[in-house]
Amino acid sequence: MYLSGYSVDMIMKELVTESIKSPTGKDKWSKRTIQRMITNEKYIGSVILGKTYTGAYPNNKQKVNMGEQEQFIMQDAHEPIISVEIFEKVQEEIKRRSNIEIVGGKDKRKSTHYSAKEREGRKD
């Protein structure tokens, strides 16, 4: 649906219309759940190890790894449910639709933004 031009909100509405329950069994889907699903490498059978790490004693709380520790990708860790090609196309589309670009190492807003209305003019 995302590659066909649907926005995350439109996907949420379609899932509700089709009476497809969320992963937690609810009738309503959250935007964040859809966003996580279209960016999660687990759907292509891969696992990223080291997304979090535990600090040294006495501050041994779990922290999100923002580059402080090395991360590893384990491919073919389990059976994929979508192809790598589709996953990569979705990631490219996410970047294309994003209103933020990195210029000179800094985030900058583009002067335009994606609209699902563009979808109506597309030929798939």
Q: Is 33 buried (19+), middle (13-18) or exposed (0-12) by CB count in 10 A? A: middle
Round to the nearest angstrom and report the end-to-end CA distance of the chain.
11
Tens digits of pLDDT across the chain (124 residues): 999 999 999 999 999 999 999 999 999 999 999 999 999 999 999 999 999 999 888 888 999 999 999 999 999 999 999 999 999 999 999 999 988 777 777 777 877 666 666 555 554 4
pTM over 0.75: no
Residue 4's nearest CA partner among 89, 82, 95 is: 89
Contact 53, 62 (CB under 8 A): yes
Q: Checking phi first, is residue 25 left (phi over 0); if not, alpha (psi -120 to 50) or beta?
A: left
